[in-house]
């Protein structure tokens, strides 16, 4: 078997001058890609250091062999070898192949001599493993996106300057436009005319928060939708990705809940009205009938006492006096209970004097420092407003006695433009409002909820502020008309 030729023998045979070799090594060793010079038979005449690094061999092991021997371990060119193809085309030929865990881009350029004949070739091998991995990652990402896009129930559109570039299958199913029909259409064609201006402004401004609009199908039917878009780069272009979700069921549920709330609101209003009527009736009965009966009893006792002999025993005299006192006390209790249920002066004289009377009684009973401020409240509001304001003040003051441990209370009644404003403040121990009105424990907050409901029925606003150790403030504003 013939021995492998040495460097010197190959260089002399191919007549490569030393100056050419020096230039070869200086220039090509600076290149990161593996470069080698081939003869007409595909054998390597020279190679740079990158070739040695790629093949993990010294140049003396590389020179004199062929690429297919070094890379593929075969004694003849592999299928699709660019060297073989280059000899036929006399043009650059390339091939991308995977060797072990590496991806290589192989190119072969012909070397033409002065006579125009093929004299050899330049073989360049580039390691494109990183690039291929990036391409594969991008491909996998696109496949995942496509899979997610096709699996989602939301309609997804990609648009540029308001014009559709792509849509997912859910969009086709939701709106009825095929992909070919959708591409090139303006995005507002999927929106009902009354909402198009809003949607177009959101699209062009890059608005990214969710919002609602009425969507329009190909067949002309409409449905409520939630829309959210985001600007991003796609295939080198600045585009908007829009997700559109049909919310018909949600809107139906919201409407049903709203109707239910309206019915409950109405029932609550009727219940409160009926309650006030019943309180008024009971109050009148207590004041008129029971009060008159007790007064009659007191008169009868006095009459009986006058007709009795003067020599009554002390015990009988004591019992008569005690009975008279009990009747008088019962009469006073009935008057207070009657006023508590529904003071007649609220209907006869109005809110302002009734509150003044109630606060005087409250001050005497509780020994609290109670201040009453009245600002621009000369004209009487409607009976409904008077009743609600009175009940709010009554409930708030009852809560202060029961829970606040306060020393002073301020009640302010003010007319503001077309509203009646009530402000109640105490210097008590306060409480955590959120904890007190927690959904799972409303036992302590029924009174507050009752106040809120009364104010809400008249279209008013109710707010309460409190914290432990800093008292409580209640503010109410009720429309007067």
Q: Band of the pLDDT at 372, cuts 50, 70, 90?
A: very high
pLDDT in tens, 260-300: 888 877 777 777 777 777 777 776 677 667 777 888 888 88
More confident residue, 64 or 434: 64
The pLDDT score that the predictor gives to residue 13 is: 46
Residue 98: Cβ within 10 Å count:
10
The pLDDT score that the predictor gives to residue 133 is: 83
Calculate the CA dihedral of residues 153, 158, 159, 164 and round it to 10 degrees: -70
Q: Give the pLDDT mean for 182-198.
A: 93
Task: Give the count of alpha carbons within 13 A of 420, CB side only.
Answer: 27
Q: Give the pLDDT mean for 384-403.
A: 91
What are the start-end ranges of the H helices in 39-124? 49-55, 59-62, 67, 82-89
Q: Provide the 8-state DSSP code for 2.
A: P
Q: Band of the pLDDT at 15, cuts 50, 70, 90?
A: very low
The pLDDT score that the predictor gives to residue 1 is: 43
Q: Give the pLDDT mean for 228-237.
A: 83
Average pLDDT, rounded, for the chain: 84
The pLDDT score that the predictor gives to residue 35 is: 92
The pLDDT score that the predictor gives to residue 260 is: 82
N- to C-terminal Cα separation, the chain: 117
- Find which of 152-161, 216-225, 318-327 is predicted with most confidence, using mean pLDDT: 216-225
Q: Give the pLDDT mean for 17-41.
A: 78
What are the start-end ranges of the H helices in 77-235? 82-89, 129-151, 169-175, 179-182, 196-205
Asked if pLDDT for residue 23 goes beyond 60, the answer is: yes
Q: Band of the pLDDT at 306, cuts 50, 70, 90?
A: confident
pLDDT in tens, 378-392: 889 998 999 899 989
Residue 449: Cβ within 10 Å count:
12
Q: Give the pLDDT mean for 217-229.
A: 94
The pLDDT score that the predictor gives to residue 236 is: 78
């Amino acid at each position: 078997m013939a021995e492998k030729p040495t460097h010197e023998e190959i260089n002399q045979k191919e007549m490569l001058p030393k100056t050419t070799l020096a230039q070869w090594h200086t220039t090509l060793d600076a290149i990161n890609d593996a470069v080698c010079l081939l003869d007409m038979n595909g054998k390597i005449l020279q190679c740079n250091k990158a070739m040695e690094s790629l093949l993990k061999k010294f140049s003396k092991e590389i020179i004199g062999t062929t690429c297919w021997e070094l890379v593929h371990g075969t004694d003849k060119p592999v299928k699709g070898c660019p060297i073989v193809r280059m000899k036929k085309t006399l043009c650059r030929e390339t091939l991308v192949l995977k060797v072990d865990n590496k991806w290589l881009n192989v190119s072969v350029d012909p070397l033409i001599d002065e006579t125009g004949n093929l004299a050899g070739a330049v073989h360049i091998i580039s390691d494109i493993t990183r690039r291929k991995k990036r391409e594969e990652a991008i491909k996998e990402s696109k496949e995942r996106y496509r899979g997610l896009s096709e699996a989602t129930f939301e309609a997804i559109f990609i648009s540029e300057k308001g014009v559709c570039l792509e849509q997912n299958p859910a969009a086709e199913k939701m709106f009825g436009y095929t992909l070919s029909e959708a591409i090139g259409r303006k995005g507002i064609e999927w929106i009902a005319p009354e909402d198009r201006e809003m949607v177009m402004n959101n699209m062009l401004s890059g608005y990214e928060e969710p919002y609602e609009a009425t969507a329009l199908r190909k067949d002309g039917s409409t449905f409520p939708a939630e829309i959210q878009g985001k600007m991003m780069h796609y295939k080198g272009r600045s585009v908007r990705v829009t997700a559109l979700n049909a919310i018909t069921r949600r809107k139906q549920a919201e409407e049903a809940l709203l109707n239910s709330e309206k019915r409950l609101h109405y029932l609550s209003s009727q219940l409160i009205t009926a309650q006030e009527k019943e309180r008024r009736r009971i109050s009148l009965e207590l004041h008129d009938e029971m009060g008159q009966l007790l007064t009659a009893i007191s008169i009868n006792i006095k009459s009986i006492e006058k007709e009795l002999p003067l020599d009554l025993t002390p015990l009988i005299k004591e019992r008569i006096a005690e009975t008279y006192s009990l009747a008088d006390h019962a009469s006073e209790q009935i008057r207070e209970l009657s006023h508590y249920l529904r003071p007649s002066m609220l209907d006869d004289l109005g809110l302002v004097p009734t509150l003044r009377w109630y606060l005087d009684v409250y001050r005497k009973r509780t020994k609290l420092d109670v201040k009453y401020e009245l600002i621009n409240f000369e004209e009487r509001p409607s009976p409904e407003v008077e009743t609600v304001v009175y009940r709010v003040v009554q409930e708030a003051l009852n809560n202060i006695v029961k829970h606040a441990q306060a020393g002073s209370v301020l009640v302010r009644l003010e007319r503001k433009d077309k509203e009646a404003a009530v402000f109640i403040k105490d210097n008590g121990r306060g409480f955590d409002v959120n904890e007190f009105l927690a959904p799972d424990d409303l036992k302590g907050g029924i009174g507050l909820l009752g106040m809120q409901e009364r104010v809400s029925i008249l279209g008013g606003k109710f707010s309460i502020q409190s914290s432990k150790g800093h008292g409580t403030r209640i503010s109410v504003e009720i429309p007067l008309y």
